[in-house]
Structure 1
């Protein structure tokens, strides 16, 4: 019997080795694809790209409309109940739009990064840079924008310079609210994400 037991063990190990890797997008309405069908949102478009290239990755869209960095921090442990190979952190826009103190936003983002690293040091982290309209004044707007590259450098993680590059402020690429991308806008966002993400894939 010992020989057959050894065979079973080997089969289990082999199965684990060929299991698909997981890319988890953890964000707000931008990740969730607010106002669109889920398959039109950029995480689904990334999955399509991966599939077309024959890359064995499963994309999980963990976007929640209205989510702040504090809310994300609170629900993180539940999301990390599974093994994650690449963690894309897209939070902060709602903090900025609500004028939440910058120190709080930075602290929450850092806490999320710390938890992901503590859970699995092998998880690759990508931080999505964000910018906001100047409603809160030039100083707040400028300092908000700096949070993301500074955190990426401090934590030595990858950075998408600005998630909505080429989309923000262009009426025809956004819904009527002027904030959330249309399906065409999400196609551009996909390219912004892919330009960074593809360098991290095995």
Structure 2
């Protein structure tokens, strides 16, 4: 029981630090990342040829790869694997540190100026840490999904699930977890049950801040994503 409590404590500290660190870097890094994604990400999409499909990862610091080089974040690792299989997909990392579901809803429109074939949505963790009503998180994520689908009717959407530790209260953690399972069912999208599976709360897989995944941690995130993404790519190829 003591070990279990210690693990829950570590997970809680990890998630609380995530919210705190993201909030601290939000203004400076969020602006920089938006500019980089808006300029470089948009260019990447434009430069793809007619046979290349676009995969957009839309999320927060976990997607952005906070504290690491761009090629060490899990979206870049997904691109490497795609390239190794000679598949015609271009990955765009549209992650912004500190992003909430409301923030994502506000910035999705400019991203939709270019076609998207596969959309991976990774938002909501910061909502939970700030105690935002899960129903609001649900509505924001649903709006993002519906906007993407309206602009790109044939898009395939993957939702990256997140969880809160039990220490935050049974009712809240259950309701928060169900945001993702319910949304995946209601909107008929693929679900990654828990993006941070195998990483959250493990010190060796997180940076010195105890918050953001290390290079090795990002590799595990990439595996969690690939498990759901690979069948979609295979289906598209066939």
Match of 1:182 among 189, 207, 214: 214
Counterpart secondary structure, 1:81: coil
Q: Does 1:78 align with 2:104?
A: no
Partner residue, 1:55: 87
Matches within 5 A, 1:1-202: 18-201=50-233, 202=237
Give how far 1:110 is off: 0.6
Shift of 1:135: 5.0
181-190 or 169-178, which deviates more:
169-178
CA distance in 1, matches of 2:89, 2:97: 25
Quote the offset at 1:41 in angstroms.
0.3
State the Cα deviation string for residues 54-98 of structure 1 (Å, max 9, x = none). Answer: 001000000000000000000001011111000000000110111
Contact 2:199 2:217 (8 Å CA) reproduced:
yes
Greater length-normalized contact order (CA 8 Å, ≥ 6 residues apart): 2
Provide the C-alpha distance between the structure 2 equivalents of 1:112 and 1:34, rounded to a whole number of angstroms.
23
User: SS of the counterpart of 2:115?
Assistant: coil
Q: TM-score, normalised by structure 1?
A: 0.89
CA contact (8 A) 1:99 1:136 kept: no
Q: What root-mean-square deviation, in Å, do the aligned CA atoms of Structure 1 and Structure 2 show?
A: 1.4
Larger fraction in helix: 2
Q: CA deviation at 1:143?
A: 1.2
TM-score of the two chains, using structure 2 as the length reference: 0.76
1:109 is displaced (CA, Å) by 0.5
Runs of at least 5 residues in structure 1 that lack an aligned partner in the other structure: 1-15
**Bigger Rg over Cα:** 1
Number of equivalent positions: 187
